[in-house]
Structure 1
Amino acid sequence: MTHMEALESFCPTDDAVMPGPYREVAAVQAECVAHLRRQMPLVLGANVAVVPFVAAVVSESLTVNGAIAWCLALETLTLVRWIWLRRQMEGSGRDHRIEARGYIFGSLASGLLWGLMGGATIAAGRELEPLYALMFLCGMVSGAIGSLSALPRAYAAFAIPAVLPVVIVYFLCGGLANTAYAFAAFVYLCVNLGYAKSFSRTLADSIALRFQNAGLIRSLEEARGRAEAESAQKTRFLQSASHDLRQPLHAVTLTLADLADQLPASLQPKVNQGLASVQSLADLLDRLLEASLAGSGLVEPALGPVDMEALFAHLEFESAAEASLRGIRIGFRANGAWVTSDALILTQILRNHVSNALRHARSRVLVAVRRRNGQIRIEVWDDGPGIEEDQHKAIYEAFYQIGNPERDPARGRGLGLAIVAGMARVLRAERGLCSRPGHGSVFHLTVPPATAPGPRAETPRSAAPYGPAADAPATAAAMLAGRRVLLIEDEAGLRAVTVGLLMRWGCEVTEAADAGAALELVRSGPAPEAIVSDLRLPGNEDGIDAIRAIRAATGIAIPALIVTGAADAVPQAASEAISLMKKPLLPGRLKAWLEAVL
């Protein structure tokens, strides 16, 4: 069915029970009727303005009384149509089929009156008045194409009775000339009906196309909404799965470390291999979660002034062990800069860049801040093999790696730069790469500068975003004998393993399964010198709440560490000057943290 056929087939069935295609046709019809409604004030206004002049011109042919009667009849009809039109404009829940019939009947009545005037004027046989009457009549019929053709029946209802009396009168007058006039008037009528049909089809097609575009936009918006919902659900699943998987990994790590202290040296390599496998799995979980968050669109940056000296100090502390292990000299030059960014997201971006640089550098890595064109550019230099220009875009794709066909996890997962790209989009920061094969690479990130909020204060070691030893290696044995440590952990097996480790290091350990029990222990005995707590605890309070309550009860800012797999705890832990380490936690890192704060 063409759009024109649809417009000419007004279905009397209720729209609510129409099949899908008929509802679309009805929607086009309704919009065509609405278009005609918008045009009607112009049509009626033209009638009001033109009719008195036409009546004056044809008054001798129609007689004065006849002209006046014709004028009054047409003006009265116009008034009635105007009143009806106002009701249609003000009404709600209108039926477009009933409204269309109203336009058709109104156009038919108007066309009959115009045709009556034209036929009577020609029949009077005067010389000039028929010519003037035909000029006005042709003008009205042709002009109505633009206004009435939205509804073809309405135009036909006006044009046919307006022109057909002229054709009949000329034909009845006889003679070759009159017959030719009749034929010309008939051709004129047919041509105008054809133009009106073509105009109507074009209008209907444009309306249908507009509806199709609107439907496509709605479909795209719905698809985007579904994709965003699915992405959010996937991210929540990954976050939940990450935490749930880290708990047993954490238990396995501590158990293997406990066994390592009790097994002969010949079995140490096997235990170390097991610990390396656990850490590799934990690293993969980190990367997958970061990549999911970076691409989910759910991360809203908390922009504010960031002290690059403090941020570089954290990165230097975190990367020192890996740099030493690889024999790489690494330097940091913040040059006293402050930038406007999200501290946690910016730290993660730079951490990925530094990790990538250490993995590929031959002997040196430099992380520096430069001021360029009123912006701050953070650059990470390495003297590695460099990257071919045709791979500069590909390396930001997930799981893409250069020179690692065997997919050795020790050489990375291929997710770090994909995470960088996603997080840079979150920050709306410009990222880039300069590299020459054989001469190394420079990864850079451009962010706005910020004004330092006040004199720079020393950042407490325990307030580092991920703890002062979050990624530090196990340190040499230190004397922790007699140090009082409070452990809050709800899983009995994991609590027992951790207590065993702490006691072998010489610590005096008190243990609790929840926040309430921990607070009772503190109130009934000496205050602990350090607190180690899981984040998720039974009841309504978590580990951060428990630490806050213990500090309030003792009046001492006791060094505290949260061990968790939930990344969303980082901002709250940092604001409370609580260190945070991710599960699974190597015992050496826990030991290093205790040595640093006690």
Structure 2
Amino acid sequence: MLGGMTTQNEHNAIEAELVNASFRNANDLNFAGVLILSLLVFVVQDATPWWTWLPGLVFLYLVTLLRAIEIRRYRRTPEYRNSRQWIFGQTVYSGLAGICWGVVSTLLLMYLPTALQLFVLTVSTVVAATTASEDIVLVLPPRVFILASISPPVLWMLIQDDQMYIVLAIMLLAFLAIVITIGNKKSHLFTEAQHLRFQNEFLAKELSRQRDLLERTNKSKSRFLAAASHDLRQPVAALMIFLEQLEFEQHLSIKGKGVLEHAQQATSSMCSLLDSLLDISRLDGQAIRKSIRPFSIRKLFDEMEDEFRQLAEQKGLRLKFSACSAVIESDRVLMGQILRNLVSNAIRYTPAGRILVGCRHRQGMLSIEVHDTGIGIAEDQLPKIFEEFYQVDNSERDRQQGLGLGLSIVDRAARLLGHTLTLTTRLGMGSSFALTVPLAKTGVAKEQSAPLQAATAPVLAGRLIAVIENEGNIRAGMNNLLQSWGCRVVSADSAANMIEQLDSMGEIVEMIISDFGLRGGVNGVEAIARIRQRWGAELPALLFTGDISKETHTLAKNAGLPILYKPAKAETLCEAITDAFGSFDIQKPKNRMSDPNEKVDLQAKCNE
């Protein structure tokens, strides 16, 4: 029996269905029975006294009428009684009807000649057999009817001092036994069919319940990742800012610099994990909105070659990107993320040899392929490699070998874009990943304007920047970091405190950097809006937050605010600030930071 549905519950459900099926055809059988007895009496009435058949016939009509009323009540209000009570009522009426048949037929046999006796026995036997075979749903009422209708004439024949009657009685009993057995088998098949039906219905409900539970669990996981990521990002952001400042301290000893380097490396690993969790959370929660447009794969290859060449050379690997002039239809940011993860994964798991990235045209599609001569993947590990945190040959969870989220992100992003991802691999011989994407119909790519280089960005020195940050450690770190860049800083933990300080200073603020979650019940988007109302709608602003929820992204996007997610390196923060200044100072196109799905690739560092 399936878990979740008890045997008693299923038995009650089947019993109710049996009652319902039996009552649907009950009227036809009842009226047929009383009609047949009436016709039988009509044939033999001249040869028998009236008292042998009239009382029994009248009583059968009364029983049939009461039974019809009961059936009508069931069809109107089946909840009036439970299934057991309905079955008991049917059994009583069947027994009473059987007694009428048994008594009338026995009394008729006493007065009729042999030919008519055989006629009466034949009709009684056919009626009993029909009851057993037709009402296969409930076995108890027909059994009671058969016993009540056949027992009296059989007993009468057995006490007759005539061999023919005895043989007839035995034959009648054997025939009825066979009929009852066949009826029981049919009833058993019907019951089994109902049993399977209820099992299937339960399985469907259980499957639906498990699916809903899985969806709720998945949403809860995404909310948990978002909440946990936010709570972790706050202290990690503060730690990264402080470590960035320590790097420029001149009095650090050689040992101290080594400790700082290890601390930065550990913090970088933690940031990579948080960024990957952010990607997983976005992809699972469908917070990423894909933007499909034509772009040249060659430019993406050029960017990736510059990005990974040094890393490959450090491992002694030959990294080659084949020339490809194709223009594809896809989301450039997500495609870049997919290919970066595939190339990074290939470099990580290729101890020696080469890595080739290229394209093949396949029936109006383009297959972008990443081949390596690495360690390959065993066949029994293939179903697991796209799972979160699973890594081939890294059971010790060495952080230097990555986090095990890259291929999981690749799989999710490919499914989001509707692109087919295939893998061919041989253990010890290497692996080949192929991503099949549609070619652009026009063959012309509409490339976005190149981002403003840091070299042309306005100088930060002397700028008055307002920092609204809920966390004291991050607020202090931001103050020190911005001041080290020559900025003048005013900081507060809420919009009200910031406005109060700016009013008292009497100076014109030149930029706002705000967290999303602030004190005073006003979020960062609202805080920036209030300050802009006082000091100008064109005031540059940046939302610097660890809140990765879809709602926060939507609010910032609607307000036209760029977002930088915590934790971020100092140079990334510097570039975001200069981009925000540049968007107002030199009217550059809306900067890429407004799209939280795209990661910032810093072109130049901000120096001390």
Q: Please tell me the residue identity of whatever aligns with 1:164.
A: S
Partner of 2:460: 480
Q: Please tell me the residue identity of whatever aligns with 1:513.
A: D
Q: Secondary structure at the match of 1:562?
A: strand
Q: Secondary structure at the match of 1:443?
A: strand
CA contact (8 A) 1:532 1:563 kept: no
Q: Please tell me the residue identity of whatever aligns with 2:30.
A: L
Partner of 1:566: 548
CA distance, structure 1, for counterparts of residue 447 and residue 539 of structure 2:
18
Q: Secondary structure at the match of 1:309?
A: strand
Displacement after TM superposition at 1:123 (Å)? 3.1
TM, length-normalised to structure 1: 0.76
CA contact (8 A) 2:282 2:288 kept: no
Q: 1:580 aligned to 553, 557, 563, which one?
A: 563
CA distance, structure 2, for counterparts of residue 409 and residue 258 of structure 1:
25
CA distance, structure 2, for counterparts of residue 142 and residue 329 of structure 1:
87
CA distance, structure 2, for counterparts of residue 182 and residue 287 of structure 1:
87
Q: Please tell me the residue identity of whatever aligns with 2:572.
A: R
Partner of 1:188: 175
59 and 525 in structure 1: CA distance in 2 versus 1, 3 angstrom threshold: farther
Equivalences, count: 560
Does the alignment pair 1:338 with 2:329? yes
CA distance, structure 1, for counterparts of residue 517 and residue 147 of structure 2:
83
CA contact (8 A) 1:51 1:74 kept: no
CA distance, structure 2, for counterparts of residue 387 and residue 558 of structure 1:
50
Q: Secondary structure at the match of 1:78?
A: helix
CA distance, structure 1, for counterparts of residue 492 and residue 300 of structure 2:
31
CA distance, structure 2, for counterparts of residue 501 and residue 134 of structure 1:
110
Q: Secondary structure at the match of 2:247?
A: helix
140 and 315 in structure 1: CA distance in 2 versus 1, 3 angstrom threshold: farther
498 and 314 in structure 1: CA distance in 2 versus 1, 3 angstrom threshold: farther
Q: 1:282 aligned to 241, 256, 271, which one?
A: 271
Does the alignment pair 1:395 with 2:378? no
410 and 304 in structure 1: CA distance in 2 versus 1, 3 angstrom threshold: closer
Q: 1:532 aligned to 513, 517, 540, which one?
A: 513
Q: 1:503 aligned to 454, 466, 483, which one?
A: 483
Q: Secondary structure at the match of 2:517?
A: coil
Where structure 1 has 5 or more consecutive residues not aligned to the other structure, the ranges are: 1-19, 463-467, 470-474
TM, length-normalised to structure 2: 0.75
1:293-332 maps to which residues of 2 (within 5 A)?
299-300=285-286, 305-307=291-293, 309=295, 321-327=307-313
Q: Secondary structure at the match of 1:496?
A: helix
CA deviation string 1:86-129 (max 9, x = no partner): 11111143222332222012111221232234334433333544
Partner of 1:493: 473
Displacement after TM superposition at 1:42 (Å)? 3.8
CA deviation string 1:123-182 (max 9, x = no partner): 333354444433332222122224445444312221012111221332344311111112
Partner of 1:83: 69
CA contact (8 A) 1:386 1:435 kept: no
Q: Secondary structure at the match of 1:396?
A: coil
51 and 548 in structure 1: CA distance in 2 versus 1, 3 angstrom threshold: farther
Q: Secondary structure at the match of 1:381?
A: strand
531 and 409 in structure 1: CA distance in 2 versus 1, 3 angstrom threshold: same
Q: Secondary structure at the match of 1:581?
A: strand
CA contact (8 A) 1:435 1:442 kept: yes
CA distance, structure 2, for counterparts of residue 439 and residue 578 of structure 1:
49
CA distance, structure 2, for counterparts of residue 72 and residue 427 of structure 1:
80
30 and 433 in structure 1: CA distance in 2 versus 1, 3 angstrom threshold: same
Does the alignment pair 1:41 with 2:17? no
Q: 2:536 aligned to 554, 577, 594, which one?
A: 554
CA contact (8 A) 1:378 1:444 kept: yes
Partner of 2:602: none
- Quick check: 160-169 or 49-58, which moved more? 49-58
CA distance, structure 1, for counterparts of residue 554 and residue 302 of structure 2:
20
CA distance, structure 2, for counterparts of residue 62 and residue 487 of structure 1:
114
Displacement after TM superposition at 1:505 (Å)? 1.6
Q: Please tell me the residue identity of whatever aligns with 1:84.
A: E
Q: 2:234 aligned to 247, 271, 277, which one?
A: 247
CA contact (8 A) 2:102 2:153 kept: yes
Displacement after TM superposition at 1:412 (Å)? 1.5
Q: Secondary structure at the match of 2:109?
A: helix
CA contact (8 A) 2:528 2:541 kept: no
CA contact (8 A) 1:360 1:385 kept: yes
Q: Secondary structure at the match of 1:100?
A: helix
CA contact (8 A) 2:18 2:137 kept: yes
CA contact (8 A) 2:532 2:539 kept: yes
Partner of 2:146: 159
CA distance, structure 2, for counterparts of residue 131 and residue 561 of structure 1:
102
Q: 1:140 aligned to 101, 105, 127, which one?
A: 127
Does the alignment pair 1:419 with 2:409? yes
Q: Secondary structure at the match of 1:509?
A: strand
Q: Please tell me the residue identity of whatever aligns with 1:255.
A: F
Partner of 1:170: 157
CA distance, structure 1, for counterparts of residue 541 and residue 403 of structure 2:
35
CA contact (8 A) 1:121 1:129 kept: no
Q: Secondary structure at the match of 2:433?
A: strand
CA deviation string 1:532-572 (max 9, x = no partner): 32222223332233344555662327253524252544455
CA distance, structure 1, for counterparts of residue 274 and residue 526 of structure 2:
27
263 and 421 in structure 1: CA distance in 2 versus 1, 3 angstrom threshold: same
302 and 72 in structure 1: CA distance in 2 versus 1, 3 angstrom threshold: farther
- Quick check: 35-44 or 227-236, which moved more? 227-236
Displacement after TM superposition at 1:589 (Å)? 1.7
Q: Please tell me the residue identity of whatever aligns with 1:566.
A: I
Q: Secondary structure at the match of 1:481?
A: coil
- Quick check: 54-63 or 487-496, which moved more? 54-63
Displacement after TM superposition at 1:235 (Å)? 4.1
Q: Please tell me the residue identity of whatever aligns with 1:78.
A: T
CA distance, structure 2, for counterparts of residue 311 and residue 520 of structure 1:
52
CA distance, structure 2, for counterparts of residue 79 and residue 501 of structure 1:
97
